[in-house]
Amino acid sequence: WKQGDSPTEKHRQFYPSCSFVQTLLSGGLQSAAKNTSPAKSRFAHSLPLEQGGIHSSLPSNPLNSRAVEDFSLRMNPCSYAMSTEEARFLSYSMWPLSFLSPAELGKAAFYYTGPGDRVPCFACGGKLSNWEPNDDLLSEHRRHFPHCPFLENTSETQRFSVSNLSMQTHSARMRTFLYWPSSVLVQPEQLASAGFYYVDHNDDVKCFCCDGGLRCWEPGDDPW
C-alpha cells in the first residue's frame, strides 16, 4: 500500500470479477430505464437523486396503469447501508403485507421505506409498489429496471457467486474481528461493511464474495 491508495480501487483492480464489488460500485448509470407498457397495478419509480430530474406525470387512474418516473442519474444511487441482506431484512419491521415475505424481498435487493408497500432497490434506486400475490420479485425488478447493476451481475437462480457463504452477513463478518489488532486504525465496522472478514493473521482480511485478500492497512485507508 502507498499513501493515498484507495482500497475500493485496489479491490476492483485485482478482483474485477467480484460480484460484490460490481454490484456495489457499478457506476455510469446515465438514466433509469423507461417502460411504458400497460400493467394492472404496478408502480415503478426511479430514485430522485438531485433537483431538476425529469419525470412523467402520474396517470389519473393509477390502478389501471403503471407510473414510471425517469430521472437523469449523475451519480451511483447505491445505498451502501442496505447493501447486505441482513440490513434489508431489518428494515421490514412495519411491512404491511403477509403474502410477500421480507426475506424474499431482501434477496431481490429491496428494502422497506413505505409508504404502503413501496420498496426501493439498494443498487439502482428503483422503487416498486402495489404488490399482488404470486408476483415474481426478480422478474418484476428486471422488467421495470433492466439495467440495475444488481441484476446485471446476477441471474434468476444465483444472485451472487459467493466464495464464503458463512461470511455473507455483516454480523458474521464482525464476529471475526474479536482479536483484530488494536494498532490497526482501520475499524472492523468499516471493513465488515465493505465485505471483508478477518482471517486471524496480522491485519489480513478477505472479501466474503470474491475471496480477494487485502493487508497492510494504513491510517486513513478507506475499505471501499
Q: Is the dihedral of CA 175, 178, 181, 186 positive or negative?
A: positive
Mean pLDDT of 174-203: 92
All domains of the chain, ordered by start, with CATH?
Answer: 7-18+161-214 (1.10.1170.10), 27-152 (1.10.1170.10)
% of the chain exceeding 70 in pLDDT: 64
pLDDT range class, residue 22, cuts 50, 70, 90: low
Residues 6+ apart with CB under 8 A from 102: 88, 89, 91, 92, 95, 112
Q: Which residues, 6+ apart, have CB-to-CB distance to 119 below 8 Å?
A: 105, 110, 111, 112, 113, 127, 128, 129
Reply yes or no on whether the pLDDT at 75 is more than 50: no
Task: Write the pLDDT tens digit of every residue in 25-48.
Answer: 554 333 333 343 333 344 555 444
Say which range, 4-18, 23-37, 139-153, has the weakest mean pLDDT: 23-37
**Confidence band, pLDDT 50/70/90 cuts, at residue 49:** very low
* pLDDT tens, position by position, 106-143: 988 899 988 899 999 998 888 998 898 888 888 888 88
pLDDT at 158 over 60: no
Q: pTM (2 decimals)?
A: 0.42
Task: Note the pLDDT of residue 74.
Answer: 33
Evaluate if residue 200 carries a pLDDT over 60: yes
More confident residue, 54 or 210: 210
Mean pLDDT, residues 86-93: 90
Cell of 10: 485496489
Look at residue 66 and tell me whether its pLDDT is greater than 80. no
Q: Is the pLDDT of residue 18 over 80?
A: no
